[in-house]
Amino acid sequence: MDQIAFIFDILLPALMQGLVITLKLIVWSAPFGLALGIGVAAGRQYGGPVLSRVCKTFVFLIKGTPLLLLLFILYFGLPSIGITFTALTASVIGFILCNGAYNSEYIRGALLSIKDGQMIAAQALGMTRAQAIRNVIMPQALRRAIPGLSNEFIYLIKYSSLAYMITVVELSGVGKNVATKYFIYTETFMVVGIVYLALVTITTVAVNILEKRVAVPGMNRAAAAQL
């Protein structure tokens, strides 16, 4: 069979279906992963001893074990204690937990970089600590965390392929199925790779635009150098 015809008539239409699943995984995971990351970082940094310990343990567990293991537990393990998720839901939950744990570390690093005076000034105006964190500390910390967070988002795009291991036929899964059906491995996986590259490129461009739009004069090194 002609290679061009294979790619355009068979491979790409199939990959589009897989891409839709991959995008679903990402779009459902990323916002909650970010929210979880913010919550865990704030809890660890500003929470009481108990909350702080809980957040630390959560990050320790997620960082210390393979994501694949987490997915297996969520999908294959939990039904034995009566909790059943669809494969897609189990994947999204796994990705949120993983993404959230790593995001929290980037955000925590950014929180540590915010000068004490910001909190002191906010409190001196009558803000509670929670108000100060929400309105003064977090907006600054999140800006500083953008490079790290975008890195983690890009990881998410790629480790979304692990969902295939618990039967979610996403982009990589579709590639694998097509490749084994037609015995065309190299070309198939190269095209799959190009689709991932495209996703990551779009993300990188989008992050650059976002970073410029939320930039504040003097708040990062590049801008400070220009002054």
The DSSP secondary-structure symbol of 159 reads: H
- Closest approach, Cβ 220 to other proteins, in A, equals 10
Query: Minimal distance in Å, beta carbon 123 to other proteins?
Result: 7
Q: Does 130 bind other proteins (CB under 8 A)?
A: no
DSSP 114: S
Stretch that binds other proteins, among 60-68, 73-81, 90-98, 210-218 (CB under 8 A): 210-218
Tally of CB atoms within 10 A around 165: 16
Binding mask 140-179 for other proteins (x = CB under 8 A): x--x------------------------------------
Closest CB 136 distance from other proteins, rounded Å: 5
* Helices then strands, each counted (H, E), the chain: 11, 0
Distance CA(91)–CA(7), nearest Å, equals: 29
Distance CA 80, CA 52 (A): 31
DSSP 8-state code for residue 47: S
Task: Indicate whether 123 belongs to the interface with other proteins (CB under 8 A).
Answer: yes
Place of tokens 């999908």: 75
In the list 135, 201, 204, 208, the residue contacting other proteins (rule: CB under 8 A) is: 135
Q: What DSSP assignment string belongs to 2-32?
A: -HHHIIIIIIHHHHHHHHHHHHHHHHHHHHH
In terms of Cβ atoms closer than 10 Å to its own Cβ (0-12, 13-18, 19+), residue 59 is buried
Q: Does 223 bind other proteins (CB under 8 A)?
A: yes
Verify binding: residue 209, other proteins, rule CB under 8 A: no
| Residue 113 binding other proteins, by CB under 8 A | no
Residues 70-89 that bind other proteins (CB under 8 A): none
Residues of this chain that bind other proteins (CB under 8 A): 117-118, 120-128, 131, 135-136, 139-140, 143, 216-219, 223-224, 227
